[in-house]
Amino acid sequence: MTRAWPVTLSDGNVKIRPLKVSDARIWQRLRLENQDWLTEWEATSPMPSVEPPPTFRQSARRMLREAREGSAMPFVVEYQGNFVGQINVSDITYGSLRGCHFGYWITESASDKGIMTTAAALVSDHLLETMKLHRIEIAIRPENLPSNRLALRLGFRFEGMRNNFLHINNAWRDHNIYVLCPGDLPGSVLDRVRRKS
């Protein structure tokens, strides 16, 4: 049986592996190179602070601590051995809910190639089949058409819109909510993606 965390998942040239603190240099370079591409979709703090934002290393250590505690899974997305994005599973809840949220980003040069579709399918299957979670939720801004299409391609169902749901790019933004539960698809998410490609 596959272990829940840490875990590496792969399909063809797409590999998902745990984030490492030592990813700092490549992460910073990619984020700088893709700043214009990502800024419109980036989470921001609604509260002004005199404190500088956390560094990558501080954020990575926090996420890895949460992963050890079982409440998060910070993944790196690799394509042909190169770091091209991230999937962060958060708010993992057990008990009577057994759910989580996840979000993702990918570099502009790796977009539109099906890489994130495969990566998100691998993570979704891991959450449903290995973690035995009951509800995976993705929140996406309505304006982000590629991400909305990705959720539907994976087999997530549109559940509705949450108004002013998250603070993104310095304003409160509406988000479409997509959900996947066990039994929503006839097979695995990855099988669905392969059939659709």
pLDDT given at position 1: 46
Kindly tell me the sign of the dihedral angle through the C-alpha atoms of 37, 178, 150, 29: positive
Q: Which residue has the tokens 């005199």?
A: 50
Give the class (CATH, top level) of 9-196. alpha beta
* pLDDT > 60? residue 180: yes
Mean pLDDT for 140-146 is: 96
Q: Which of 52-66, 113-127, 135-149 has the lowest mean pLDDT?
A: 52-66
Residue pLDDT, tens place only, 87-121:
999 999 999 999 999 999 999 999 999 999 999 99
pLDDT given at position 2: 61
Burial of 55 by CB count in 10 Å (0-12 exposed, 13-18 middle, 19+ buried)?
Answer: exposed
* pLDDT > 60? residue 138: yes
Does residue 114 sit in helix, strand or coil?
A: coil
CB count, 10 Å around CB of 15? 20
* pLDDT > 80? residue 182: yes
% residues pLDDT > 90 (the chain): 88
Domain ranges of the chain: 9-196
Q: What band does 172 get if pLDDT is binned at 50, 70 and 90?
A: very high
pLDDT given at position 4: 85
Distance CA 152, CA 163 (A): 20
